[in-house]
Amino acid sequence: MPIRIQNDLPVKEILENENIFVMDEFRAMHQDIRPLQIGILNLMPIKQDTELHLLRSMSNTPLQVDITFIKMNSHVSMHTSATHLNKFYVTFDEIKNCKFDGFMITGAPLEQIPFEEVDYWDELCEIMEWTKTHVTSTFHICWGAQAGMYYHYGLNKSELPKKLFGIYKQHVLNRKVPLVRGFDDEFYVPHSRYTAISSDKIHNCEALTVLAESEEAGVLLAMANGGRQIFVQGHFEYDRMTLDAEYRRDIGKGIPIDVPVNYYPDDDPTKKPMLQWRAHGNALYTNWLNYYVYQNTPYELEEVK
């Protein structure tokens, strides 16, 4: 899939070196095609890492996708340069009168803070309400999924006894739903979080359909409104070394942390981690873009409602 991004976005070179087809603005302007408009509300501290993860994950369909990165008005990022944000990101105020085929709300390292105490919670609520009428399908990731299920359905998170950290086996529950088309009965996905929305709460919410779940990690994947809202409590988009970097960061800060589950061979952090989730991550993002964005969105974006 050609991903259209700004010519000088730093991750462009990395993607090209991975043989991922990235289209610059000049070439895109000369194609007679209506690309999908995807907005990404990037709430992670180090924006460039998440940009790379998500763009890589959406690179496996023949669809052309235009990406718009969005930042919060009500929060100042301390871990990404103002130059990068000002050059490659827009604010919600700048796009709130636009409509999008698809929209993504990322995670954020805020699990242990009550939602209402997050400094940009009111703005995030405004954005989540806006997605109901301005987006064909919204994809929520990790903390973004918990925030979405809390805002839309009143399902609050609870703190876990210790950090859920590692690669956990998942089971497909509803194979007929296109979002999990091509999935194996069992598959593995990274998790890295201190909180969860209990499986009972999610299963008992009539609006939500659970598609995949783990005995150890709880509900992974759920959707509502025929796929207009999708919630993922894990990280299909992580690369091989993401959990390794988190593990070594926490060790360096003196934060108590266990070796990530099912990650290093023999649980030995000196060994190269096993990459066990890439194929299912590619399938998930491809299915989302195809069945819930491309197949459902109107040709004229103004008709999204």
Distance CA 112, CA 110 (A): 6
Runs of H (alpha helix) within 45-162: 47-57, 82-88, 92-95, 121-134, 143-153
Question: Could you tell me if 285 and 58 are in contact, meaning their C-beta atoms sit under 8 angstroms apart?
Answer: yes
Question: Are the C-beta atoms of 282 and 57 separated by less than 8 Å?
Answer: yes
Report H helices in 136-290. 143-153, 199-203, 242-253, 278-287
* CA–CA gap between residue 280 and residue 180 (Å, rounded): 9
**CB of 192 within 8 A of CB of 232?**
no
Catalytic residues: 142, 235, 237
Q: Coil, strand or helix: which one is 133?
A: helix
